[in-house]
Amino acid sequence: MTLTADQVLFEKAKRHIPGGVNSPVRAFAGVGGTPVFVSRAKGAYMYDTEGREYIDYVGSWGPMILGHAHPKVIDAVKLACDDGLSFGAPTPFETTMADLIADIIPHIELIRMVSSGTEATMSAIRLARGYTGRDKIVKFEGCYHGHSDSLLVKAGSGMLDIGEPTSKGVPADFAKHTVTLPYNDIDALQSAFDKFGDEFACVILEPIAGNMNMVIPSQEFHNTLRELCTKHGAVLIFDEVMTGFRVGLRGASHHFGITPDLSTFGKIIGAGLPVGAFGGKREIMECIAPLGGVYQAGTLSGNPLAMRAGKAMFDELTRPNFYEELTAKTAKLVNGLQALAGKHGIDFASCHVGGMFGLFFAKELPKNFNDVACADTKRFNQFFHAMLKQGIYLAPSAFEASFMSIAHTDDDIERTLVCADKAFGELIG
């Protein structure tokens, strides 16, 4: 049997890269098959090493909200390259970026740049612990906040049991400080705070979850969480690494009208270059070195390429009607998919906010991780491959959200729907 170009590349990659990939979900472990090796991308399209075109709804897992290789972003990076790649000293571009974000999101009074989303959440948690002098943290089942030790923890068998690591290599001694609760569950929240509230340093959550496919929690859940954190002096951290500047210019905090104490960002703010950030209330942020005793640092933090790419991107995001246009594109695709599933008599549920959407083979929209796990992943995987075969690149996992970019045209979306019609049809047959 002759191997495809991707199969050859995958085998080669596996010789010196664990599993052939530098981040696990790229290996297509959930959906099966061989990952597509990408040679380049432009606008809404990615091209494999043989020049095959895919309409891309992953967008590098979120950053590519303008589409790939946007000319203004690429020009900004080229100019930045000519001036040198990193200095380990402050630049005016870092101030520009901080001012931009603080202007858009009023509760960001101080902000610190880092190099990834993982670093942003890890640092925000250390800061919350340093600020409150408490150890325990709360996270929610199905939310992902990067791969730092405290956050790779799931709930024990009972709701409020001591956390157990979900990854080997995370000491149980670390995990025991993490309480994991079911997402979007007000009763669980209330009883956790009744029991431990005054011991919680912080609660961290994805305000709209995008790492268990996509789950939009209730307004009441958010209101209750904000009230309980305030009452018990726990720092409320919105992890907006994915939702920031994605579900709307002001992110999920604005969507729900909630003011968190700290927020974390990544992905979009670097336009595709490695970046992360955490920021919020001045009083809390002033605990970070060099102002305060919570240590946090980074050789490449505030990298000039990332800052200048991010600035070019913000120039586009802040133009009038950007998010209205983006939302209309997402709605057109998602409503179209929903209608086609109906036509084929397939149980299907979908949701979307701004440029982010979730697709489930289920009768109803999941409300939490348990519901997501009950959706039909076998059908999802079949659908994924039927679409991929036709040149449509959806998130290669039933547990990830997908993303729209402003570069996707009506034609791209219509072409996607024609392919979906066929893919849904094949599911029945």
Measure the CA–CA gap between 170 and 256, rounded to whole angstroms.
Answer: 34
Provide the minimum distance between the beta carbon of 225 and ligand PMP in the complex, in angstroms, as a whole number: 16
**Is 267 marked active-site?**
yes
**Which residue's CB is nearer to ligand PMP, number 67 or number 146?**
146
Measure the CA–CA gap between 242 and 240, rounded to whole angstroms.
Answer: 5
Residue among 56, 239, 376, 412 flagged as catalytic: 239
Residue among 136, 139, 267, 311 flagged as catalytic: 267
**Which residue's CB is nearer to ligand PMP, number 67 or number 210?**
210
For 299, what's the count of Cα atoms within 13 Å in the CB-facing half-sphere? 1
Provide the minimum distance between the beta carbon of 277 and ligand PMP in the complex, in angstroms, as a whole number: 11
Helix axes 322-343, 304-317, angle to 10 degrees: 80
Q: Does 201 bind ligand PMP (CB under 6 A)?
A: no
**Which residue's CB is nearer to ligand PMP, number 206 or number 261?**
206
Q: Does 61 bind ligand PMP (CB under 6 A)?
A: yes
Binding footprint of ligand PMP, residue count (CB under 6 A): 16
Among 48, 57, 121, 246, which residue interacts with ligand PMP (rule: CB under 6 A)? 121
Stretch that binds ligand PMP, among 3-11, 139-147, 168-176, 379-387 (CB under 6 A): 139-147
212 CB-near residues (< 8 Å, 6+ apart): 142, 143, 183, 366, 369, 372, 399
**Which residues, numbered 219-278, are part of the site for ligand PMP (CB under 6 A)?**
239, 241-242, 266, 276
Stretch that binds ligand PMP, among 125-133, 141-149, 356-364, 374-382 (CB under 6 A): 141-149
**Which residue's CB is nearer to ligand PMP, number 255 or number 379?**
255
Please name the residue that has the structure tokens 């992905």: 267
Give the burial string for 266-285 (b: 16+ CB within 10 Å, else e): bbbbbbbbbbbbbbbbeebb
Measure the CA–CA gap between 300 and 214, rounded to whole angstroms.
Answer: 32
Per-residue CA distances from 59 to 56, 194, 418 (Å) = 6, 42, 21
**Omega of the bond prior to 290 within 30 degrees of 0, cis?**
yes
388 and 416 Cβ atoms separated by less than 8 Å: no
Give residue number: closest CB to ligand PMP: 117
Q: Does 403 bind ligand PMP (CB under 6 A)?
A: no
Q: Does 150 bind ligand PMP (CB under 6 A)?
A: no
Q: Does 141 bind ligand PMP (CB under 6 A)?
A: no
Give the interface with ligand PMP as residue ranges (CB under 6 A).
Answer: 61, 116-118, 121, 144-146, 206, 210-211, 239, 241-242, 266, 276
The catalytic site residues sit at: 144, 239, 267
